[in-house]
Chain A
Amino acid sequence: VTTTIATPEVKKQAVSDRSSAENSLGRKLVAPAVIVMLIVTAWPMLRALYLSLFRYRLTTPDDREFAGLGNYLTILSDSLFWKDTLNTVVIMVVTVGVELVIGFGFAMVMHRIIFARGVMRTSILIPYGIITVVSAFAWQFTFSINNGWVNGWFDWLPGISDGLPVGGEAATNWFGGHWTAMFAIMVSEIWKTTPFMSLLLLAGLSQVSDDMIEAAQVDGATWWQRLWKVIIPNMRAAIMVAVLFRALDAFRIFDNIFVMTKGAQNTESSSFLTYRQVIEQFQLGMGSALSVLLFLTVLLLAFGIVKIFGVDLAQARGES
């Protein structure tokens, strides 16, 4: 008994020696990249943190004065900030929710399909290869009151009209109202990023072992039960990664809004507000405070999602 216990201990020791040597080599190899990352990422972040404590405008540099947490107080007590945050949350929840469902469907199709597999997978992924700004312009034309096809094709739906014949019901001005404009923005966002979601989910699907599914089938589980009791629980890590990535992305939405409404009709997001402060109004202090808040929110979101799904990221990578 003693020998059988001792042997694995010795082996384990050997493995950790080797792995510590590997780790040390790894650290050395990664060091240059870490240094570059610190220069290009950590430095601007610290600088933004520093600037956020000042009243500082690019065009009146002499009036720069220390404001402490004044900028943060102004922002947190301003209704515009909360309105924009609410918009951002609505966009994030709706788009990620819809993308998860559609993306899962696409992932199933890509996983199960037998014929024309390459063509099918490629065509599902095409929207993801299109630049967001291009996608935004395409959908802006689509919903345009002058030459978009949505009004013409969906004329039969109540509330949508192409304005013909002239003098009858006015044509639907999608970018003229808050919710219709938000709808158009979200459609573009969903169209563009669902393939990314389905790609991540496909990776998760292929990790679910066929043996388990077969075992469930033998035990008489229906297709629905197999999906909910076997497939989805076993790809929880993949779902979490997909939701995490997309939620963080969606929370930082900018391009679609910039192209489609420029923030009009109260469709501004947190990123857009930050952009306006820094780029349009040259308010380096206020803008930096906003970006720090945005960063903290994203961190909080990431933390929240990891907690909700209760998945260890290391486990998702298959390390433990």
Chain B
Amino acid sequence: MTYSLNNRSGRRRGRTRIASLAALTLASGLLAACSGSGSGKTELVWYINPDAGGQDAVAKNCSTDQYDVVTQVLPQDAGQQRIQLARRLAAHDSGIDLMSLDPPYTAEFANAGFLAKIPDEAQDALTQQSFKGAIDAATWDGEVVAFPFWSNTQVLWYRKSFVEKAGIDMSQPVTWDQIIDSASENGGQIGVQANKYEGYVVWVNALISGAGGSIVEDAEKGVDATISIDSDAGEAAAHVIEKLAHSSAAPDDLSIAQEGQAGTTFGSAAGSFLVNWTYIFHNYDEGQPEVAADIGYTMYPETVAGQPARPPYGGIGIGVSKYSDHVDQALEAAACVVSPDNQGVNAELTGNMPASPGGYEYPALQKIYPADLLKLFQDSVDAAAPRSVTPYWSDISSSIQSTWHPAASVTDGTPGESASFIEDVLQQRRIL
């Protein structure tokens, strides 16, 4: 009896010990979670796209005595970034204060009412400071809804040795026809983005804009926007894609090629031309220094000879969540994040170029990039054609991917086919 009593109390003691241990663990967890606000300092959470540390450095620069800016990393894929942010914002999650937004989704978020209004004077300052393309991409319904942070553009990269062998004059603007012919005649392959993803639509959009056309007009009408892809410009774009896909200049992995695969093609023995973002310039420095020394660059190719090219526009704008508990402080922090100096800091660390001429003045950039390349980037951003600013961009983009992929299936009829498909999808007559 005594034995069993002892035993029971022993067991009970054990249980109490476990319980108190559990309570301790829980308490310490709670304490850790509170430590940010425990010091009386606000914590602003900035959801960033993965990068090489540029946004972390900027977050540190923009932390003040009143608040700390801390970063949380979103998924790699821009589509997944959009899904995660939108689902949380739709549920009025106050855990997001600032977010890095891809331009094609900015209008969607603004239209859904997820973004806090930027004060008028701040909007004016941003308009003063930024490239026009960057402001256009961040404007919805007459308001600047995101702080342009960095602006990306594509230029035509070429291998100097290849161009010399092929004997093309790269000092003059070149056309897609020229580079496809030159590559196929000289055993070269052209790096483009043609997987079934957003990057392919970036290419299609640049080709159409380069021929003076557009995918959508009157985008502010939402689902009733005019789909203008079925035009001479659309046909000119289809012609370029069809020609490349059926030429020997098409890489074997064309149908699954994203930026990385295209970069690999460019670095291979068959590398000749590549359309890609600004970061490519330092891409080969460590792995293939011989390629790095062989890189030349010029303006994006023309779709139609004599008509100036409209290169792709990319980048990141900073949005402030309407559901943040600290909207005013978050707006202040966002203004700090996009200051020209911080744009420069970010560009130095990541290769993602500033969204303002002021950002290009950052001293370190002048050291890392040749002056003529920095000028090319700025000219290219100025000439760039942003993807249509519409809340339905993701539907339009997916519809184009469905009808224009794979590149080898593109014909003269593709623009017409995609126009009616996009209309059906927007009017919910077809599912995507």
Contact = CB atoms under 8 A, between A and B. Distances in A.
B27 to A, nearest CB: 30
Contacts of B109: 59
A100 interface: no
B428 A286 contact: yes
A195 to B, nearest CB: 33
Nearest to B392: A60
A70 B428 CA distance: 9
Contacts, number: 57
Nearest to A279: B83
Given A59-B90, A279-B83, A282-B86, A78 B431 contact: yes
B196 A264 contact: yes
A170 B196 CA distance: 22
A225 B307 CA distance: 82
B87 interface: yes
A75 interface: yes
Interface string B211-232: 0000000000011000000000
B391 A276 contact: no
Please classify the interface of chain B as helix (H, G, I), strand (E, B), loop, or mixed, using the class held by over half of its residues: helix
B395 interface: yes
A81 interface: yes
Interface string B94-114: 000000000000001101101
B90 A58 contact: yes
A61 B429 contact: no
A318 B256 CA distance: 55
Contacts of B429: 74
Contacts of A80: 430-432
A280 interface: yes
A281 B430 contact: no
User: Which of A81, A282, A286 has the most chain B CB atoms inside 10 A of its CB?
Assistant: A282
Contacts of B79: 280
B344 to A, nearest CB: 34
A154 to B, nearest CB: 22
A74 B428 contact: yes
B394 interface: yes
B141 to A, nearest CB: 13
A273 interface: yes
Contacts of B112: 58-61
A277 interface: yes
Interface in A186-226: none
A55 interface: yes
Nearest to B112: A59
B258 to A, nearest CB: 13
A269 B391 CA distance: 28
A251 to B, nearest CB: 19
Give chain B's interface residue range (CB within 8 Å of chain A): 20 to 34
A60 B391 contact: yes
A61 to B, nearest CB: 7
B283 to A, nearest CB: 20
Interface in B57-112: 79, 83, 86-87, 90, 108-109, 111-112
A259 B35 CA distance: 38
B430 A74 contact: yes
Given A279-B83, A280-B83, A59 B432 contact: no
A74 B431 CA distance: 7
Interface in B389-432: 391, 394-395, 398, 428-432
Contacts of B87: 58, 279, 282
Interface string B374-396: 00000000000000000100110
Contacts of B114: 59
A60 B431 contact: no
Contacts of B108: 59
Contacts of B395: 281
B428 A78 contact: no
A140 to B, nearest CB: 14
B430 A78 contact: yes
Nearest to A75: B431
A74 B430 CA distance: 6
Interface string A55-80: 10011110100010011001100101
A276 B398 CA distance: 11
A78 B222 CA distance: 23
Contact of B391 (A59, A170, A286): A59
B111 A60 contact: yes
Contacts of A286: 428, 431
Contacts of A61: 90, 112
Contacts of A63: 222-223
Nearest to A282: B86
Interface string A274-299: 00110111100010000000000000
A273 B431 contact: yes
Nearest to A59: B112
B345 to A, nearest CB: 33
Nearest to A273: B431
Given A59-B391, A282-B86, A81 B431 contact: yes
Contact of B222 (A60, A81, A277): A60
Contacts of A70: 428
Contacts of A74: 428-431
A294 to B, nearest CB: 14
A291 to B, nearest CB: 13
A60 B109 CA distance: 9
A140 B137 CA distance: 38
Nearest to B107: A59
Interface string A155-178: 000000000000000100000100
A75 B431 CA distance: 7
A58 B92 CA distance: 12
Nearest to A290: B431
Contacts of A75: 431
Contacts of B252: 170
A45 B111 CA distance: 29
Contact of B428 (A55, A58, A264): A55
A164 to B, nearest CB: 16
A81 B114 CA distance: 32
Contact of A277 (B223, B394, B431): B431
A59 B431 contact: no
Given A59-B86, A60-B112, A70-B428, 16 more contacts: A59-B112, A59-B114, A59-B391, A60-B222, A61-B90, A75-B431, A78-B430, A80-B432, A81-B431, A176-B255, A280-B394, A281-B394, A282-B86, A282-B87, A286-B428, A286-B431
17 contacts: A59-B112, A60-B111, A60-B112, A60-B222, A60-B391, A61-B90, A67-B428, A71-B428, A74-B429, A74-B430, A78-B430, A81-B431, A277-B432, A279-B87, A281-B432, A282-B86, A286-B428
Interface of A: 55, 58-61, 63, 67, 70-71, 74-75, 78, 80-81, 170, 176, 264, 273, 276-277, 279-282, 286
